[in-house]
Structure 1
Amino acid sequence: MEVELRHLRAFVTVATCGTFTAASRELLITQPALTRTIQQLEESVGTRLLERTPHGVEPTEAGGELLGRLRVVLRDLDTALAAAAGNAGLRIGFQWALPDPWASDLLTAFETATGATATLLRRDDIVAALHSGDVDAALVRGEVDASGISGTLLFEEDRLAAVAASAELAARAELDWADLAAHPVVVNTVSGATSPLDWPPENRPAQVIQCGSYDEWLTIIASGRAVGSTTTSAAEAHTHARVAHIPLRNAPRVALRLLWPTRRSSDPLLRRFGELAHSVQRAS
């Protein structure tokens, strides 16, 4: 029997929902019909794809590999069908505050130029979101080196120091990048754009506190446990009553890049979005 699209969508839905009951409700078919569909797929590929557990089902090793590939294929297919129907759009991932009003101007310019929609989606793990097809492209600060991901540098932003408002440093009109290394430095390892390697080897912070989100980063600084650095646009978007932002001398600038799955490099909507991302002017 030939594998049909309905077999693939059924498998992805069952594996994602974790039970045949939930999947049948989502697909609007009976459980016996859904069970037969999965059995037909397993017979066609010649291996078991789902294992029953006390709580439902989960993919086998082969099923897990197939699931990852199918999610990408089906998302690309849905995107192509939407475009053919005149409902084209892009989902743009980001991790934290984007430069404003540049980001808003970019989305407006894209929608005006193409007639397609553009939606911003916050995702911490941008590489995973791009690989899975959860987002079509992403605006990301800092360096990203991942297979299957292409990108282009859009521009660079200045940094500000972030210190507790009650700290002595908060009274300074300006700080040097080297000044921060004399204090504990907090680093957001998931989506941040600062690393101990940003300082020269002879002047790196002696103590580094790691966190996993921008909110955690702000809270640690507000408590006086550490200092940090962020971009000017992020500082404007995320204010905190107990965090002061101070201009920095000699700080490395932060790159903002547009990333996309390499397999979609020829996508005309992505190419147009990239052109506009380079051409839309930033506020000085």
Structure 2
Amino acid sequence: MDVELRHLRAFTSVARHRSFSRAAEELLITQPALSRTIAQLEGSLSVRLLDRSSRHVDLTDIGGEFLVHAERVLASLDQALAVVRHQVTLRLGFSWLLPDPWAQQAVSRFEENIAASVTLVRTDDPLQALRQRTVDVALVRGGFDPPRSARTVHLYDEPRIAVCSERCDLTRLGQLDWADVQHWPLIVNTVSGTTGPWSWSSDQRPEQIIETANYDEWSETVAANRGIGIVPEVAQRRTQHPALRFIPLTGAPPSPVSLVYLPDTQGTLIRRFLEAATQAEHE
């Protein structure tokens, strides 16, 4: 007997709704396709499971008995699949401070809808982690060169803000214009920073660049009053360093936030995570 899961799901849906039209809506198929599926099941079993009329659908006696076992089989299968899905993980790589509240909403929506989990992987270079396949999706800020064959989804743009030491003269100015940054020593995170000499044309770049290799080095160098930094505004909400001060920055271009992934890995999981990510961005 060539009975497939689609036959059982179609039959139990019709039996539950006592209606081919409502069952077709639930299963997202056409009513003729549903009728053919039920006919195939009855033909394979050589029994009549449903009594049809123009007004209603009823179970036959054997159909009622078969429904009990079919629902039991599907319930056991769903339980088995749930066990597996809870062991399935999508790895999201990021370098510093996931955007809020986007990250929390996207992860929650994905885990609730997919019954899979998201593992958050902090790494200095999310794109390199993606190349090495130690993450499945990389969250990247600013401009970047994606790995070959990678695909990019732009989420939104973050405003920028200046940051300096509590002992810096900039604290007395109250604000800084993007065109005036060139007159201050600029501390740059060369691996995952969103702002650097590449952010200006050659004739407007800061005269002095101080390079660091990660967010912690960058923040401590700014706190030590070696220069100023420029970051997305999320840093002001999330950074608790007592020696740092945030200064409004006028005229600055926004900093893009993007997701980067390789289409040949975790295809279904990534697609569903991207759906959750873009929906969270619009909330």
Query: What band does the TM-score fall into relative to the shorter chain?
Result: 0.5 to 0.7
In 2, distance between residues paired with 1:170 and 1:209?
20
Residue 276 of structure 1 deviates from its aligned partner by: 1.6
* 8 Å contact kept, 2:107–2:276: no
Task: Give the structure 2 partner of residue 203 of structure 1.
Answer: 204
1:99 aligns with 2:99: yes
Task: Give the structure 2 partner of residue 14 of structure 1.
Answer: none
For each residue in 1:98-144, what CA deviation from the matched residue of structure 2 results, as whole angstroms up to 9, or x when unmatched?
Answer: 11222111100110111111111101122221122211111111223
Task: Give the structure 2 partner of residue 275 of structure 1.
Answer: 275
Residue 190 of structure 1 deviates from its aligned partner by: 0.9
* 8 Å contact kept, 1:198–1:252: no
Task: Give the structure 1 partner of residue 186 of structure 2.
Answer: 185
Residue 235 of structure 1 deviates from its aligned partner by: 2.6
Percentage of matched positions with identical amino acids:
37
Distance change >3 Å, CA 250–CA 259, structure 1 → 2: same
Task: Give the structure 1 partner of residue 84 of structure 2.
Answer: 85
- The letter for the 2-side match of 1:235 is Q
In 2, distance between residues paired with 1:269 and 1:263?
11
For each residue in 1:56-114, what CA deviation from the matched residue of structure 2 results, as whole angstroms up to 9, or x when unmatched?
Answer: xxxxxxxxxxxxxxxxxxxxxxxxxx999333220101000011222111100110111
TM-score by length of 2: 0.67
* 8 Å contact kept, 1:96–1:234: no
In 1, distance between residues paired with 2:282 and 2:184?
33
Task: Give the structure 2 partner of residue 157 of structure 1.
Answer: 158
Alignment of 1:97-136 (within 5 A): 97-136=97-136
Distance change >3 Å, CA 268–CA 280, structure 1 → 2: same
Distance change >3 Å, CA 217–CA 282, structure 1 → 2: farther
In 1, distance between residues paired with 2:98 and 2:196?
20
In 1, distance between residues paired with 2:172 and 2:101?
29
Task: Give the structure 2 partner of residue 175 of structure 1.
Answer: 176
In 1, distance between residues paired with 2:281 and 2:253?
22
In 1, distance between residues paired with 2:152 and 2:281?
19
- The letter for the 2-side match of 1:254 is S
In 1, distance between residues paired with 2:216 and 2:82?
37
In 2, distance between residues paired with 1:208 and 1:181?
10
* 8 Å contact kept, 2:197–2:205: yes
Larger radius of gyration: 2
Distance change >3 Å, CA 122–CA 282, structure 1 → 2: farther
Count of aligned positions = 201
* 8 Å contact kept, 2:153–2:259: yes
In 1, distance between residues paired with 2:235 and 2:138?
17
Q: Which runs of 4+ in 1 moved over 4 A?
A: none
- The letter for the 2-side match of 1:137 is V
TM-score by length of 1: 0.66
Distance change >3 Å, CA 115–CA 176, structure 1 → 2: same
In 2, distance between residues paired with 1:248 and 1:282?
25
Q: Which moved more, 1:83-92 or 1:160-169?
A: 83-92
Residue 201 of structure 1 deviates from its aligned partner by: 2.6
* 8 Å contact kept, 2:89–2:116: yes
Q: Which moved more, 1:212-221 or 1:235-244?
A: 235-244
In 2, distance between residues paired with 1:123 and 1:174?
32
Task: Give the structure 2 partner of residue 232 of structure 1.
Answer: 233
Task: Give the structure 1 partner of residue 217 of structure 2.
Answer: 216
Structure 2, unaligned runs of 5 or more: 1-80
Task: Give the structure 2 partner of residue 244 of structure 1.
Answer: 245
Distance change >3 Å, CA 84–CA 241, structure 1 → 2: closer
Task: Give the structure 2 partner of residue 137 of structure 1.
Answer: 137
Report SS of the residue matched to 1:139. strand
* 8 Å contact kept, 2:155–2:281: no
Residue 282 of structure 1 deviates from its aligned partner by: 6.6
Structure 1, unaligned runs of 5 or more: 1-81
Residue 268 of structure 1 deviates from its aligned partner by: 1.4
For each residue in 1:137-158, what CA deviation from the matched residue of structure 2 results, as whole angstroms up to 9, or x when unmatched?
Answer: 1111122322132211100100
In 1, distance between residues paired with 2:152 and 2:91?
16
In 1, distance between residues paired with 2:180 and 2:241?
22
**What RMSD, in angstroms, separates the aligned Cα atoms of the two structures?**
2.0
In 2, distance between residues paired with 1:219 and 1:282?
34
